[in-house]
Structure 1
Amino acid sequence: MVRSPLFLRLFSAILITLGLFSAAAYVFSVPFIEEKAYEIERDASRTILDNIFELVGKIRGGLEEQRTATVDSYKARLRDVLSLAVGYIEHVHARADRGELPPEEARREAMEGLKALRYGNGDYVWAIGYDSVILSHPSPDYQGRDAADLRDNLGRHILPTIIATAKREGEGFQTYPWWRPNGDERALKLSYFRDLPKRGIVVGTGAYLADVDAEVERRKAEAIDDLRQALRRLRIARTGYLYIFDSANRMIIHPNANIEGTAFGDLLNPATGHPIAEELKAAASRGEPLTYLWDKPDDPGNYAYEKISWVRHFEGFDWYIASSVYVEELRRSSVVLGNRILAIGMVLMAAGSLLGYVAVDRLVRPLRRLADTAAQVSGGDLGARSGICRGDEIGLLASAFDGMVGRLRDTVATLDSRVRSRTAALAEVEARQRVILDAIPASIAGLDRDGRLTFANRRWAELVGRGKDEVLGRDLAGLVGRRAMAVLRPQLDRCLAGEAATFEYAFPRDGRTLVTKTTLIPHRGEGGTVAGLFVLTLDVTDEKQTERQLVEAQRLKAVGQLSGGLAHDFNNLLSIIIGNLSAARERYAAVDGLDAYLEPAQRAGRRGADITARLLAFSRQQPLKPQPVELCGLLRDMAVLLRRSFPSSIAIGVPEEGRECWTIADQTQLENALVNLAINARDAICGDGRGDLGAGRPSGGRLDIAVGTRKVEGELLFDEPVRPDDYLEIRVADSGCGFTPEALARAVEPFFTTKALGSGLGLSMVYGFVKQSRGYLRIDSRAGQGTTVSLLLPRAEPVARSVDADPPAAPDGAWGGQLALVAEDNDDVRQVMRQQLVDLGFSVVEAASGDEAVELVGQIDGLSLLVTDIVMPGLPGVDLARRARLLRPAMRVVLVSGFAVEYGDLPPDAVILRKPWDKRDLVAAIGHATEPAPA
C-alpha cells in the first residue's frame, strides 16, 4: 500500500527523534550515572574512614578524661594519708600537752613515727621545718639535711616554695622533680602538703606521676585492642578493609594479624617505585586519595590490580588511618547499572516506533481526505464537503471547515479587527501590572507544576541574583541551587498538594546572613486541580535581628533578677555572720587559738560580701551614688597603680596630661569596673585568660585605655540599640588571646569564666554597673587577635573639683549616754546592729517595722540617732526618715540597704550604710551623718 508523503515524513521524524533521544540519553546519562555510582561507592569508603577517625578521637578524649580522673584519685588518697599523719602528730603532742611526755621527746617520737609510715608503691610522709631543714624522711641521705638549695629543672627552690605556699594558703599541691627511692634518677612528683603552725612544721606526702601515666597507658592498650577487633570485622565493598600505622611505618592494626607490629617502610609502589608508606603519608597531608597497583589474595605477586586508599593523620596518637579497596569492586555496580539502562532504552525505542506507526496512520488518513476537500474549495467550489464524521478533534475540524466555507470572507475581516483591538488592551494591562509588581516591596513569582518560572517581579529576580528576562521559563532548582532546593522541596510538595505553606529560610548574601519569610499559595486551574503556585517572599532579616536581641536582653534580665534576689537574702545573712564574728573576736580575744578560727571565717564573710556586691552589680540593684566624675585624671591615677602590679612587659596607654572628660557615674563602682577590665586584659596577655588560647603566647603585650566624647544621632548597636544622645566612650583594648565565638556569646553571664581560677563575676559586674548607670557595652574580639571592650556612659558638663572630707574620728565614749532607735524587720540583723551601737556607747531602742518606729519617735524624747532599713513592712525606711526629721529635726539619720531601690527624695543629710557592714563602716556612717543645730 502506497503511503502519503505526510505519513512518511511523520513516521520518519518519529523514528529519527526516538533514535536521537535514545542515543542522547545513553551518551549523556549512562556515563554520568556510572561515574556518579563509582563516586558514591568511593566516598562511602571515605565516610567509613571518617567515622573511624572520629572514634579514635573519642578514644583519645576518653584517655585524657581518665588521666584527669586518675590524678584526682591520687590527690584524694594523698589528702587521706596526710590527714592520718597529722592526726598521729597531734596525738603524740597531745600526750606532751597532758604532761605524759617532754615536748622534745614528743617531737622526736612524732618524726620517727612518720619515717616508718609506708603505703602504695613505696610512698612515704615527710616533714620539714620553716627553715627548710628536713625533720622526717625515710632516707638517711635527707634526714636532718638543710635542703633550702634544692632546685627544680627551672632553677626554682623546691622546699622554700612549698613552705611559703603552706604558710600562705594553709595547704596545697605542687609538682616538682624528685629522686626515685633507688636514688638513680629524678622524676616528676605530685606532693600534697599542709602547714601545722602550732607545731612550726610543714608535713607532706606525694606520688610519682609516672604511676599515673602507667595506668593511662594500660587503658590505652585496652582501647586499641577493642578498636583492632572492630576493624577486623569491618569491610568496604567486598574485600576492602581499614588499617592503622604510625609515623615510624610500624603497622598498628591490620585485618591480617601476622602483619601487625611489623615495619612496612620498605614496601614499594610498583607504579612509582617509591615507598608505599611515604606515599600514603603524603596523601594524608594533601587530603586526597592515593591510587596504586597491588596484587590480589587469589593472584599473589601480580601487582596489576588498581587500588584506592583514603588516609587521615590523627595527630593525638601520631597514627595514620587508611582504607584500602580495589577500584574494580567500586566500579562493578556502576557497570551493571549502565547495562540495565541500555536495555530499558532499547525496549522503549521499539515500543515507541510501533506506537508511532499506528498513531501516524490514524492521523494521516482523514487529513488526506480533508486536504482533497480543501483543494476543491481552493478551486472555487464553496459547496464542497469533506463528509468526515468522527468524534475526535479531526471530526470537529472537518465539521468546522464545512461550516466555515460559506462565511469565510466576512469572518476573516471581523476577526482581524477584534484581534487588533484586544492586543492593544492586553498590552496596556500587562504594562500596568508589570509596573505595580516591580514597585511592591516584596519578591513575587509564579511557578507551574514542573517548577518553571511563569512570571517574576524585579525584586524576586534580584533575590536570586538574576535579571527578570533571565529567570522566566527557567527551572527553579537551577536558579536557587541544590542546597536551597533541599529546604524548598517539602514546602513546594505541600503547596502542589493544595495546602498553603509559610516558612523561613536563611542564606548568605554580601557577607551577611539574609533571612526571608516565604508564603506559597496554590493556583487552581480547571476542575480545582493545582496547576501551579504563587510565591511571596519578604526580607525579615532586621526583624529577626531585633527579635534575637530582645530575647537575649530578656534572658539576661531574668538572670539578673534571680541573682539580685539571692544577693539581697545573702546580704542579710552576711550582715549577721560578719557582725557576730567581729563581736566574738573583740569579746573573746583573750581565748588562745580562737582567733585562728574566727579570722578565716571573717575573710570568707568578706569574700561572700564581695560576691554579692558583684551579683547586685550584674542585676543592677547595687546602691549607686552617681555624680560628675573626671575620667581622664582618674585613669592616669589608676595607671600608676596598674604599672606597679602589672609585669614590665605589658605597656599601658592612658589619656595624656591636660585632657578632661566628664561623665555621670558612681566613682567607686566605675573604678572597680575599669580595674576588672584591666585585670582581664592582663590575664589575656600573659596567657591565663580566655580558655586555652593563651597557651604558649608570650607574656608581653599592650593595654590601651582611650576616652572620647561621642554624639549618637543615628542607628548604633551595642548590647542593645543606643538611644541618641551625647556620651562619653571608654575603649579598653588589649593584645591578648581574645575570645572564641562560643565564649564571647556568654561573656557577661554570671559565674561563666574561661580562666583556670576565677569567679566568673568580673565582666557580669561591669555589665550590670554600665546598665544601671544608663549606659551601653560592646565586646569586639576574635581568637588570637585581642579584645576591645567599649563602654558608653552619659556625658556630664565639667564641674568644680571638691575635696571629700573624712568623717571625724569618734573618740572613745563620744556617744556615751546618747539614745538611738534601730528599725529593722529581721530579728538577727537588728540584734547585730543593737550590739554594735551599745558597744559604741549608745542606749538602743528597737522597732520591728516602720509603723512601730514612727510611734516611738513621737513618744520618746532624747533620740539622737535613727538607724533604719530602707525596705521594711509597713512604712518604708525613707518615709520613716522624712517623718522622723519632721518630728526630731536634730536627729542623725542612717539608712541601711543591701540593694538599690527607688529611694525617692532622700533627706539631704541622710547617709546610706550598705549591707553587709562591720563596726568601722557603722562608725563612718554615723560620723558622716550631720547633726543640724536645733532651731
Structure 2
Amino acid sequence: MAHSRLFLRLFSSVLLVVVLFSSAYYLLSVPLVKEKAYQIELDASRTILDNVHEMVGRIRSNIEEQRTTIIETFKSEMRARVALAAGYIDYVLDRHERGEITRAEAERLIYDGLRAFRTGKDDYIWLTNYDAVLLSHADPDWIGQSAAELQDQQGRYIVPTIIERARREGEGYHTYPWKRPGSETAADPRAQKMSYFRDLKRHGLVIGAGAYLDDMDAVIERRMGEAIEDLRQALRNIRIARTGYVYIFDSTRRMLIHPNSNIEGTAFGDLRDPSTGAFIGEALMRAAHENRYLRYLWDKPSDPNNYAYEKITWVRHEPGLDWYIASSVYEEELRSSSTELGNRLFAVSLVIMAVGGGLGYFGARRLVSPLRRLADTAAQVRAGNLDARSGIVRNDEIGDLAATFDGMVRRVKDDIATLDSRVKERTAALENAEARQRLILDAIPAAIAYLDAHERLRFVNRRWSELPHTRRGHVLGRRLREALTADAYDHLSPALKRARTGETTVFEYTVDLGGRPLITRNTVLPQQGAEGAVLGFFVLTLDVTDETERQRHLEEAERLKAVGQLAGGLAHDFNNLLTIILGNLAVARERFADLDELNGYLEPAQRASRRGADITARLLAFSRRQPLKPQPVEVCTLMRETAVLLRRSLPASIALATPGPEDAAWAVADPMQLENALVNLALNGRDAMPDGGTLTIAVRPCADPAAGDFDEPPAAGRYVEIQVRDTGNGFAPGAAARAFEPFFTTKALGSGLGLSMVYGFVKQSGGYIRIDSAPRAGTSITLLLPEGEAPIPDDTPGPVTAGALPSGCRGMLALVVEDDDDVRLVLRQQLIGLGLSVIEASSGEEAMELAGQIEDLRLVVSDIVMPGVSGLTLARHLRATRPEVQVILVSGFSTEEHGEAEGLVILGKPWEKSELAAAIRLPADA
C-alpha cells in the first residue's frame, strides 16, 4: 500500500490540506483571539467598576432615605413630646381653674413637669406666653425673662416670629440659631435648631420642643461611616486580573478607600505621571467626566521606583457624594491571559497537524478500497446525511452492493421526508390544541396547577401565578415547596399526602392581604394510572372570600332574627302582665286615694311597671314590632335640634360636631324613634370617652352603597347615610359582633338594650347598620335609611287635645273581649270607672254571638291575638253587621303588624286609663 501511487497522492493531498488548515487557523484566529481576550479582560475591569459604582449609588440613595427618615423621626418625637406636655399643662391648669391648687403651685408643677419631658442630652420643652416671656426653659436664667428682642443673623426676631406663626397656623416647625446648654452665645449660627411649636389658645401660651440639626447630622454621619466601612470591606475583596483593585477618592483628591490601609486618608493631588508630568488626580477626574479610561506609567511592588509599567484605570464619578470610583490594573496582567491563550492555540495547531497527518495516512490507506468508500457513505447516512452516495459503478458484486446501497438510501430519504411532514402537521395540531386549552384554562375564574408525582409544577394557569401566596417568577419545573410560601405549603402538604392514597381533598386557606383576608377553597385531585398508581395531582383554587362573607352576614341576620322573634314573644307576654299590674295599681290608687301611706307604696310600683313597659318597648324595637309612624324627616335639622339637648348631657371635655345649617337631607323614618336612636348612640359614645374626646354626627346622601360590613348587603337605591363617630376606647375584640344582641353590654351599669333598639328601629325602617371599631381607636356606627322627599306644606289643623269622657258616653253599653281573665278584669274595671256598662266575652266566637243579640251595644274593646276568631276578624264582622258599634283593639305587639286594622283605634299594652278614655271619645269627635 505504501508504494501505491493512489495512496501517495491521497496521503500527500491530505497532509497538505492539514498543514494549510493549521497554518490558516493559527494565523487568522490567534491574533484575533488574543485581542478579544484582552478586550474581555478590559471590559471585565470596567464591569467591576460599574458594579461598584452602582453599589455606591445605592449607598447614596439609602443615606438620603435614612436622612429623610431620621428628620421625620425627630419631628415625630418632638410632636409627641409637645402633645404630652400640652396635655400635662391642660391637666394642671384645669386643677387650678377648679380651685384645687394655687396659680403658683400650678406654675411650679408645670415647670417641674416640663423638665421631665427630656429625651436627649440637649432636648427640652420650652413654654412662653404671647408676650415672648419664657415661662419654662432648660436654662433657669431664661425663666421669667423676655426673649422678644432676641434676633438671628438676618435680624429676624426668633421667639416673636414663632409666637406669630403659632397664633396664625396653630402649630408648625421653625428653624433658628440657638445656643446649646453651656454655650456662651444665645444666637449661635453654628448651633441651628429646629423646633415644633403649638398654640395653647385656651391658656394664651405657646409650647414647643426642639432638636439641634447637628444631632441629626451626627446620626446621619454615623450611618454614612458604617456604610463606608461596609464598602471598604467589600472593595478589599475585589481583585482585577492578579493584582488589580478598586479605590475611591473625593474631589479634593483625598483617598477615601484603598486596599492599602496606609494610603487611606492621604492626599495624592501632587502625584504626577512620570511619562507626561501631568497630575494623576486631575487626569483621573477628567477621564471620569469624559467616560474614558486613563493610561499612565507606574512602578510595581516587586520593582519599586521603576515607573516603567503601564497601568489602565477606569473612573466613574458619583455626583451625589462627589466621589470618584476607580479601578487600577497593569496592562501586562490584562494581556497575560491572551498571551497564554495564544501559546495554547499554537500548541493546538501543532497537535492538529500531527493528528491530521496521521489520520490522513491511515485514511488514505482505507480509502483506496471501494469497500471503504461504501463504509464512509454509510457513516454519512448514519450521521443524517441522506444525500450521500457511494458513487461506485462496477460490474461485479461490489458494484451491485453499491447500487443496492444507494437505492436503499434514496428510499429511506423519501420515507423520512414523508414522516417529517406528518410529524410537523401533528406538532402544529398539538400546539394549536394546547394553545386553545391554555386560553380556556386562563379564562376560567379559578387557579389551576398540575404537579407530577414528585410534586414538580408541570402546568399553571394565569390565575394561579397571580395568587398572593405563590412566589413570583418562573415556576414550571420547580418543586411546589419552592413555588409557594412556607405557610401555604404547610397547609397544602397534608392534602397532597391524602391524595397519594387516591383521595380527593378539599380545604380552605386564608391569606392576610394587609389586614384584609383572602379566603380560598382548594381541591386536590389525584391522577391515577391504569394500575391505580398516582401519576400526578390537579390543584384547583377558588376565591371564596365574598361567598364566605355573604354566608357570615346571612348567618348573623338569621341569628338576630331568631333572637328578635324570641324577644318579641317575651315582650307580648310581659305586656299582658304589665297591663294587669298597672291596671290594678291604678284602681287601687283611685279607691284608696285617701290612704297616703298606701299611695307611698303604690307609686314606686307604678314607676317600676312603667320601666318594665319601657324595656318591653325596647324589645319590640329590636324585634321590629314597635309602632312606627314613618314620614319624610329632615335629618340634619333633627340632629341639630337633638344636639341642643345632648350638649346638656355631655361633659365639657367632649366636643360635639353636627351638620351645619346649610346641610339638608330627607329620609323616611319615625322622627321620634330616630331621635331616640341618635340619643342612644350619642350617650354610648359619651360613656366610651371618660377622658373626653370628639363626638361627630355626619349626614350625607348615598346612592347604591357598597356592601361593606353592613349587617346585610344593601339593596340598590338611594339612601341617607347617618354616621355617629367617637374617639373613645372602642369595642374589645369579639364584642362588636354581639353589640346588637339584647341584654349584651360592655358597661357595668348598662341594660344592653340601647344598640339592640337602634338595630330593630333601622331594620323596621327598611335600612341597614354597620359598626366599625377597634380597641382604643374609637367607634363609628353608620345607619342607612331610605331617602325621602320634602313634603308639601299642609295647612290642615291638627287633632284637638282630648279632655274628659263626654257625659253623653256615660251609661253606654260596652263589650270586653279578652281571653286572659286578669286582663279582661282590668279592662272591665277601667270601663266601669269611666261610667260605662260592661259585659264580657272570653273568645271571639262568644263576642260575635253577643253582638248579634244585644241591640244596645255601642262599644267593643277586644284583644287582637286570641285563639279561634281574632280581634281583627271580629272587627271586620262588626263593620259589616253593626257599623254603629265602635271597635277598639288592644295588642301586646306593634300596631304596625296589623295592616288590615287601618282605620281602627288600637291601644298598645300596657295602656293608661286616660288613653282608653281618649280612644272611646274619638268616634264621637270624628
Q: Give the TM-score taking structure 2 as reference length.
A: 0.53
Distance in 2 (CA, whole Å) between partners of 1:548 and 1:590 is: 61
**1:587 shift after superposition:** 1.9
Instruction: Tell me the percent identity.
Output: 56
**1:835 shift after superposition:** 0.5
Which residue is equivalent to 2:713? Answer: 721
Residue-by-residue CA offset, 1:71-115 (whole Å, 9 max, x unaligned): xxxxxxxxxxxxxxxxxxxxxxxxxxxxxxxxxxxxxxxxxxxxx
Contact 2:740 2:759 (8 Å CA) reproduced:
yes
**1:812 shift after superposition:** 8.4
Distance in 2 (CA, whole Å) between partners of 1:740 and 1:550 is: 23
Distance 1:527 1:925, change over 3 A: same
Please tell me the residue identity of whatever aligns with 2:913: K
Distance 1:661 1:823, change over 3 A: farther
Please tell me the residue identity of whatever aligns with 2:457: L
**1:542 shift after superposition:** 1.4
Please tell me the residue identity of whatever aligns with 2:918: A
Which residue is equivalent to 2:197? Answer: none
Residue 529 of structure 1 pairs with residue 533 of structure 2: yes
**1:782 shift after superposition:** 2.3
Which residue is equivalent to 2:64? Answer: none
**1:447 shift after superposition:** 0.6
Provide the secondary structure at the position in 2 that maps to 1:741.
Answer: coil
Which residue is equivalent to 2:333? Answer: none
Distance 1:812 1:458, change over 3 A: closer
Distance 1:578 1:441, change over 3 A: same
Contact 1:464 1:480 (8 Å CA) reproduced:
no
**1:659 shift after superposition:** 5.2
Distance in 2 (CA, whole Å) between partners of 1:524 and 1:476 is: 19
Residue 837 of structure 1 pairs with residue 841 of structure 2: no
Residue-by-residue CA offset, 1:804-852 (whole Å, 9 max, x unaligned): 4353211586742122222211111111111111111111121222222
**1:440 shift after superposition:** 2.2
Residue 632 of structure 1 pairs with residue 636 of structure 2: yes
Which residue is equivalent to 1:400? Answer: none
Which residue is equivalent to 2:768? Answer: 776
Please tell me the residue identity of whatever aligns with 1:520: V
Distance in 2 (CA, whole Å) between partners of 1:645 and 1:464 is: 50
Residue-by-residue CA offset, 1:286-335 (whole Å, 9 max, x unaligned): xxxxxxxxxxxxxxxxxxxxxxxxxxxxxxxxxxxxxxxxxxxxxxxxxx
Distance in 1 (CA, whole Å) between partners of 2:658 and 2:851 is: 53
Please tell me the residue identity of whatever aligns with 2:487: R
Provide the secondary structure at the position in 2 that maps to 1:678.
Answer: helix
Distance in 2 (CA, whole Å) between partners of 1:765 and 1:902 is: 17
2:511 to 504, 507, 510: 507
Stretch deviating more after TM superposition (410-419 or 534-543) = 410-419
Which residue is equivalent to 2:573? Answer: 569
Distance 1:510 1:788, change over 3 A: closer
Which residue is equivalent to 1:931? Answer: 924
Distance in 2 (CA, whole Å) between partners of 1:711 and 1:625 is: 24
Distance in 1 (CA, whole Å) between partners of 2:736 and 2:585 is: 41
Distance in 1 (CA, whole Å) between partners of 2:680 and 2:668 is: 19
Distance 1:556 1:465, change over 3 A: closer
Decide which structure has the larger Cα Rg and report it.
Answer: 2
Please tell me the residue identity of whatever aligns with 1:421: R
Distance in 2 (CA, whole Å) between partners of 1:480 and 1:421 is: 41
**1:674 shift after superposition:** 1.8
Which residue is equivalent to 2:868? Answer: 874
Which residue is equivalent to 1:906? Answer: 901
Please tell me the residue identity of whatever aligns with 1:751: F
Contact 2:469 2:488 (8 Å CA) reproduced:
no
Contact 2:471 2:485 (8 Å CA) reproduced:
no
Contact 2:471 2:483 (8 Å CA) reproduced:
no
Residue 731 of structure 1 pairs with residue 723 of structure 2: yes
Which residue is equivalent to 1:548? Answer: 552
Which residue is equivalent to 2:460? Answer: 456
Provide the secondary structure at the position in 1 that maps to 2:474.
Answer: helix
Residue-by-residue CA offset, 1:619-656 (whole Å, 9 max, x unaligned): 11223232333333333332222222322333333333
Distance 1:855 1:797, change over 3 A: farther
Which residue is equivalent to 2:915? Answer: 921
Please tell me the residue identity of whatever aligns with 2:762: V
Residue pairs, 1:412-451, within 5 angstroms: 414-415=415-416, 417-422=418-423, 423-451=427-455
**1:749 shift after superposition:** 0.9
**1:411 shift after superposition:** 4.2
Distance in 1 (CA, whole Å) between partners of 2:496 and 2:372 is: 53
Contact 2:622 2:758 (8 Å CA) reproduced:
yes
Please tell me the residue identity of whatever aligns with 2:858: S
**1:469 shift after superposition:** 6.8
| Root mean square deviation of aligned Cα | 3.3
Contact 2:857 2:885 (8 Å CA) reproduced:
yes
Which residue is equivalent to 1:273? Answer: none
Residue pairs, 1:242-321, within 5 angstroms: none
Contact 2:506 2:522 (8 Å CA) reproduced:
yes
**1:412 shift after superposition:** 5.9
Which residue is equivalent to 2:607? Answer: 603
Distance 1:597 1:885, change over 3 A: same
1:855 to 849, 856, 860: 849
Contact 1:714 1:724 (8 Å CA) reproduced:
no
Provide the secondary structure at the position in 2 that maps to 1:505.
Answer: strand
Distance 1:732 1:569, change over 3 A: same
Which residue is equivalent to 1:346? Answer: none
Distance 1:753 1:524, change over 3 A: same
Distance in 1 (CA, whole Å) between partners of 2:925 and 2:745 is: 50
**1:449 shift after superposition:** 1.6
Residue-by-residue CA offset, 1:435-455 (whole Å, 9 max, x unaligned): 222222221111112211011
Distance in 2 (CA, whole Å) between partners of 1:626 and 1:923 is: 26
**1:511 shift after superposition:** 4.6
Gapped regions of structure 2 (runs ≥ 5): 1-97, 101-369, 379-404
Aligned residues: 530
Contact 1:458 1:468 (8 Å CA) reproduced:
no
Distance in 1 (CA, whole Å) between partners of 2:817 and 2:406 is: 115
Residue pairs, 1:612-627, within 5 angstroms: 612-627=616-631
Contact 1:382 1:405 (8 Å CA) reproduced:
no
Contact 1:619 1:768 (8 Å CA) reproduced:
yes
Residue 751 of structure 1 pairs with residue 746 of structure 2: no
Distance in 1 (CA, whole Å) between partners of 2:477 and 2:582 is: 81
Please tell me the residue identity of whatever aligns with 2:823: V
Distance 1:412 1:566, change over 3 A: farther
Residue-by-residue CA offset, 1:740-794 (whole Å, 9 max, x unaligned): 2321111111111011101101000110111111111112222223222221222
Provide the secondary structure at the position in 2 that maps to 1:931.
Answer: helix
Distance in 2 (CA, whole Å) between partners of 1:405 and 1:582 is: 129
**1:485 shift after superposition:** 1.8
Residue pairs, 1:8-27, within 5 angstroms: none
Residue-by-residue CA offset, 1:111-166 (whole Å, 9 max, x unaligned): xxxxxxxxxxxxxxxxxxxxxxxxxxxxxxxxxxxxxxxxxxx999xxxxxxxxxx
Please tell me the residue identity of whatever aligns with 1:787: T
Stretch deviating more after TM superposition (733-742 or 552-561) = 733-742
Distance in 1 (CA, whole Å) between partners of 2:712 and 2:414 is: 73
Distance 1:664 1:892, change over 3 A: farther
Distance in 2 (CA, whole Å) between partners of 1:714 and 1:464 is: 24
Distance in 1 (CA, whole Å) between partners of 2:547 and 2:805 is: 65
Distance in 1 (CA, whole Å) between partners of 2:649 and 2:473 is: 69
Distance in 2 (CA, whole Å) between partners of 1:466 and 1:788 is: 36
Which residue is equivalent to 1:671? Answer: 675
Contact 1:719 1:776 (8 Å CA) reproduced:
yes
Distance in 2 (CA, whole Å) between partners of 1:418 and 1:481 is: 47
**1:906 shift after superposition:** 2.7
Residue 662 of structure 1 pairs with residue 652 of structure 2: no
Q: Give the TM-score taking structure 1 as reference length.
A: 0.53
Please tell me the residue identity of whatever aligns with 2:734: E
Distance in 2 (CA, whole Å) between partners of 1:469 and 1:709 is: 46
Please tell me the residue identity of whatever aligns with 1:583: V
